Structure 1
Amino acid sequence: MTDIHPDQRVAVLADSQNLYHTAQSRFSRNIDYTQLLSRAVQDRQLIRAIAYVIRADSPEEESFFDALEDIGFETKIKDIKTFADGSKKADWDVGMSLDAVTLANHVDVVVLCTGDGDFSRLCSHLRHMGVRVEVMGFGSSTADELVDAADNFLDLSDREEVFLL
């Protein structure tokens, strides 16, 4: 990886739903958030690490949220919405984007942990603001436009033994 140095200030934004669903559907495993954060920061100065999570009232989620905080993530929690037709929706795209733009004036690097192509426009905007954008996601389920819009892409699938529990 190029353009990395210890003086860089880094913000790590983890789209936990996107990572969870991909890790479960492709590998039937969970993300190792300790390794994810360590690799995202890479001995640089961590300014903020935020994990965006959904509360769906499953039995283990509160201990998961606590574990994220123990690792060093601030958790932002949104309740899942159930509509009259029974469909459910919850995503953090707007919240993550607003946080990234707000943090851009305080960091040199934003690491987006997601495969969601909706963030490609955000990458372009951050780069235009002079912020380096690094993306960490599973290559097979990461949108090409997101990979193309980032300064660097790390495929978590290449290091399953590191990033999956």
Structure 2
Amino acid sequence: MTDVHPGQRVAVLADSQNLYHTAQSLYQQNIDYGELLDAAVRDRQLTRAIAYVIRADADDEERFFDALEDIGFETKAKDIKTFADGSKKADWDVGMSLDAVTLAPHVDTIALCTGDGDFARLVTHVRHEGVRVEVLSFGESTSEELLDVAEDYTDLSEDTERFLL
């Protein structure tokens, strides 16, 4: 396992939908993205921070996106899809994975802010390329498969005073 040191270049990829829904269902609160970014970077060199968001025409949505950018996140937005049966879907799994693979040659560490087990295969691939992968998420809803392949894990539930608004 690679040690953490100040010269490391870090990319932070935040699955905002996953984090939002988990924080809401467990605590009825929102994420403090400033603290999340600080915890992910840990005094290392931030190369890129990307928050993957869904446009759902919700109140204060644009203000939230602007706040993410003020904190230091680049936002990538996707519209929510509504199907004929009324169901809705929106996720960034493929987009986040492509960005991680693209960023891997340019960073030492990728901090994935999600508990989604769909990313376990991505973590294995990126680690094989020599990149350290750290996961930050809520332990109660994080996939065991994802935890098994990550090199480091931060359970946001262990410090809700810090990570929730």
Please give the secondary structure, in 1, of the residue aligned with 2:118: helix
Match of 2:20 in 1: 20
How high is the TM-score relative to the length of structure 1?
A: 0.99
Please give the secondary structure, in 2, of the residue aligned with 1:104: helix
Residue 146 of structure 2 corresponds to residue 146 of structure 1: yes
Match of 1:132 in 2: 132
Match of 2:48 in 1: 48
The residue identity in structure 1 corresponding to 2:28 is: S
Match of 2:68 in 1: 68
**Partner Cα distance (1:154, 1:49) in 2:** 17
**Partner Cα distance (1:44, 1:152) in 2:** 15
Q: After TM superposition, which residue ranges in structure 1, 4 or more long, deviate above 3 angstroms?
A: none
**Partner Cα distance (1:159, 1:119) in 2:** 24
**Partner Cα distance (1:90, 1:3) in 2:** 36
CA deviation after TM superposition for structure 1 residue 52, in Å: 0.1
**Partner Cα distance (2:125, 2:137) in 1:** 20
**Partner Cα distance (1:94, 1:130) in 2:** 21
Match of 2:57 in 1: 57
Query: 1:3-40 CA deviation, whole Å, 9 max, x = no partner?
Result: 10000000000000000000000000000000000110
**Partner Cα distance (2:39, 2:71) in 1:** 13
- Kindly, what percent of the aligned residue pairs are identical? 75
Query: 1:99-139 CA deviation, whole Å, 9 max, x = no partner?
Result: 00000000000000000000000000010000000000000
Alignment of 1:114-133 (within 5 A): 114-133=114-133
Please provide the CA RMSD for this pair.
1.0
Please give the secondary structure, in 2, of the residue aligned with 1:105: helix
Alignment of 1:90-109 (within 5 A): 90-109=90-109
The residue identity in structure 2 corresponding to 1:21 is: H
Query: 1:51-94 CA deviation, whole Å, 9 max, x = no partner?
Result: 00000000111000000000000000000000000000000000
**Partner Cα distance (1:79, 1:61) in 2:** 12
Aligned length: 165
CA deviation after TM superposition for structure 1 residue 162, in Å: 0.4
The residue identity in structure 1 corresponding to 2:53 is: V
**Partner Cα distance (1:3, 1:134) in 2:** 12
